[in-house]
Structure formats: C-alpha cells, structure tokens
C-alpha cells in the first residue's frame, strides 16, 4: 500500500508502533474529532458532511464495543454505555439533533479522559518498578 503524504505516513507509523492502550486513546480522540466535524456540519446545514462524520464516529464506537472484554461487571457496564453512545450518535444523525450529539460527545470525552488518566497512572507505576 502506497502512502500518499508525510502526514499519512506519520499516522500509519504511529498506529503500528503504539501500545493497545495508546491505540484506544487514539480511537477516542478520532471519535471526538469526527463528532466535532459533525457539529460544525450541523451548524452549516451540511447534511452530507454531518452524515459522513457521524458514520465514522459510530464505526469507532462499534470497534470499541467489539474489542471490549465483557466478562466483568465493569466491562458489561462499559458495553451498555457504548451502546447508549452509539444510539445517541445514530439519533443525532437521523434527526439532525445537536442536543443528542452533545450528550454523546460528553460521554466520549469522559471515557477519553478516564482512559488517558489510566494510561498515565500505568506509566508511572511501570516507571517506578523499572527504576
């Protein structure tokens, strides 16, 4: 597969060399990027761009859902929240509903921020063990 631009090459290399935890953080950030683009499209009344970006956001949430381990109560609770987010994104798309999109965005931000904190704590813990 040919890589078109230096930015694409960088992104592909970053994805190939990131840990599973970092990849999950990248998914959350990507999802938030697409939600932001969809919000802009709603403001500009651009149905096609809104739809394209919300489909991308939905696909990321689906990916998070299928890779989630649901053998614990926390995993099952996370799956239910992902399902709720997915429904909010779908409704925001079909209804052109900014309120539902904002609700989904806040939940995704909460997941992202919690995940980011967990990665930081894990790095600190591993650094102390290796010191």
Residue 26: per-residue pLDDT: 96
On whether residue 4 sits in a domain, the answer given is no
On whether residue 36 sits in a domain, the answer given is yes
On whether residue 13 sits in a domain, the answer given is no
Q: What's the structural domain count of the chain?
A: 1
Residue 122's CATH number: 1.20.120.340
On whether residue 5 sits in a domain, the answer given is no
30 Cβ contact partners less than 8 Å away, ≥ 6 residues apart:
56, 60
Nearest alpha-carbon partner for 60 in 13, 105, 119: 105
Residue 85: domain span: 22-130
Model pTM score: 0.84
On whether residue 12 sits in a domain, the answer given is no
On whether residue 15 sits in a domain, the answer given is no
Residue 14: per-residue pLDDT: 56
CA 96 to chain centre: 20
**H-type helices in 18-97, by residue range?**
20-43, 47-67, 73-95
On whether residue 27 sits in a domain, the answer given is yes
**% pLDDT > 90, the chain:** 76
Tokens 């994805």: give the residue: 15
Please determine, for residue 63, whether its predicted confidence score (pLDDT) is greater than 90.
Answer: yes
pLDDT in tens, 102-125: 999 999 999 999 999 999 998 888
Count of C-beta atoms within a 10 Å radius of residue 19: 11
């Amino acid at each position: 597969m040919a890589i078109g631009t230096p930015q694409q090459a960088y992104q592909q290399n970053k994805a190939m060399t990131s840990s599973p935890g970092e990849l999950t953080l990248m998914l959350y950030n990507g999802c938030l990027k697409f939600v932001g683009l969809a919000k802009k499209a709603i403001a500009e009344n651009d149905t096609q761009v809104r739809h394209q970006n919300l489909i991308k956001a939905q696909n990321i949430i689906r990916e998070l859902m299928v890779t989630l381990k649901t053998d614990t109560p926390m995993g099952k609770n996370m799956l239910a929240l992902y399902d709720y987010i997915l429904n909010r994104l779908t409704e925001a798309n079909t209804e052109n509903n900014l309120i539902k999109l904002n609700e989904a965005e806040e939940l995704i931000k909460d997941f992202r921020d919690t995940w980011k904190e967990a990665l930081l704590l894990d790095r600190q813990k591993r650094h102390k063990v290796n010191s």
